[in-house]
Amino acid sequence: MARIFCIANQKGGVGKTTTAVNLAAGIAAHGRRVLLVDLDPQGNATMGSGIDKRSLAASVYQVLLGLADVKQARVASEHGGYHVLGANRDLAGAEVELVDIDEREMRLKNALAAVENEYDFILIDCPPSLSLLTLNGLCAAHGVIIPMQCEYFAMEGLADLVNTIKRVAANLNPELRIIGLLRVMFDPRMTLQQQVSEQLETRFGDKVFTTIIPRNVRLAEAPSYGLPGVAYDRSSKGAQAYVAFGAEMIQRIATL
Binding residues for ligand ATP restricted to 124-143, rule: CB under 6 A: 128
| Smaller CB separation from ligand ATP, 175 or 187 | 187
Picked from ligand ATP, Mg ion, none, the partner binding residue 188 (CB below 5 to 8 A depending on kind) is none
Alpha-carbon span 133 to 118, nearest angstrom: 24
| Smaller CB separation from Mg ion, 47 or 200 | 47
Q: Which residues pair with 183 in a beta bridge?
A: 148, 212
Query: Strands 82-85, 75-77: parallel, antiparallel or unpaired by DSSP?
Result: antiparallel
Instruction: Count residues binding ligand ATP (CB under 6 A).
Output: 19
Picked from ligand ATP, Mg ion, none, the partner binding residue 215 (CB below 5 to 8 A depending on kind) is ligand ATP
Q: Are 53 and 88 in contact (CB under 8 A)?
A: yes
Given candidates 26, 41, 143, 238, which one binds ligand ATP under the rule CB under 6 A? 238
Closest distance of CB 18 from ligand ATP, Å = 3
DSSP state, residue 212: E
Binding residues for ligand ATP restricted to 192-221, rule: CB under 6 A: 213, 215-216, 219-220
Q: Are 87 and 2 in contact (CB under 8 A)?
A: no
**230: contact with ligand ATP by CB under 6 A:** no
Q: Are 65 and 97 in contact (CB under 8 A)?
A: yes
Binding residues (CB under 5 A) for Mg ion: these are 16-17, 44
Q: Are 142 and 170 in contact (CB under 8 A)?
A: no
Helix axes 237-255, 16-28, angle to 10 degrees: 70
Picked from Mg ion, ligand ATP, none, the partner binding residue 185 (CB below 5 to 8 A depending on kind) is ligand ATP
Nearest-5° angle of CA 235, CA 240, CA 245? 165
Which residues contribute to the site for ligand ATP (CB under 6 A)? 12-18, 40, 42, 44, 128, 184-185, 213, 215-216, 219-220, 238
